[in-house]
Structure 1
Amino acid sequence: MQSVSLAADWITIGTGFGTDMKTLIFNVFIPVLCGIFVLVVGFKTRAPGPTLMAVIFAGVVWGLSANMATIKDTTGDTVKQYDTGGNTVVQGDQ
């Protein structure tokens, strides 16, 4: 039987292109795009509600991209759990 990986390791693929490229994307492009997003929403709507929601959304995106290593480890553990689970029955799956 062949083993099949259910999820690609995108961080490793990005590192294959070069650590400088990955650093540039995560430390420069994503924060700049989040800032541009907030400015565009603020100038287009000229209302505090949508601008505040844009700030919150941009913060979530920026925060998740900054913690990519933690997300990678958590996702990898989940995939391994389901790959090796096989015939095990977890309480509540019946």
Structure 2
Amino acid sequence: MEPTTLAIDWITFGTLFGSDLKTFIFTITIPVLCGIFIVVVGIKTRSPGPTLMATIFAGIVLGLSLSIDTIGETTSDTINQYNDGGGGDFVQGDQ
């Protein structure tokens, strides 16, 4: 019996349209929106504090979006390890 996928995440949905769409979103659109976010916060507040915090937040979002493949691989490895019963015969306890 073949497994049936009832729902997919939006990244897989975008990949079904082609890897060009996924690449466009993660390497062009998100960095541009982060830059716009920093500029808008800087113009609206005219203060270095909120602009600095916006820059830090945009840097975090940008870093996570550019490393989405690494995060996906790590998550898949972790899920596979737990599905296999923890990855080995030896289970470390509290001793």
Q: TM-score range by the shorter chain?
A: 0.7 to 0.9
Q: Percent identity, aligned pairs only?
A: 62
2:93 partner SS = coil
TM-score, structure 1 as length reference: 0.75
Cα deviations by residue, 1:24-79 (Å, 9 ceiling, x for unpaired):
10111101110111111111111101100111111111111111111011111111
RMSD: 2.6
TM-score, structure 2 as length reference: 0.74
2:84 partner SS = helix
- Which residue in the other structure is 1:38 paired with? 38
Question: Which fold has the larger relative contact order, with Cα–Cα distance below 8 Å and residues 6 or more apart in sequence?
Answer: 1
Q: Which aligned runs of 4 or more in structure 1 are off by greater than 3 angstroms?
A: 8-13, 88-92
Is 1:73 the counterpart of 2:73? The answer is yes
**Structure 2: segments with no counterpart, 5+ residues:** none
- Which residue in the other structure is 1:20 paired with? 20
- Give the length in aligned residue pairs: 86
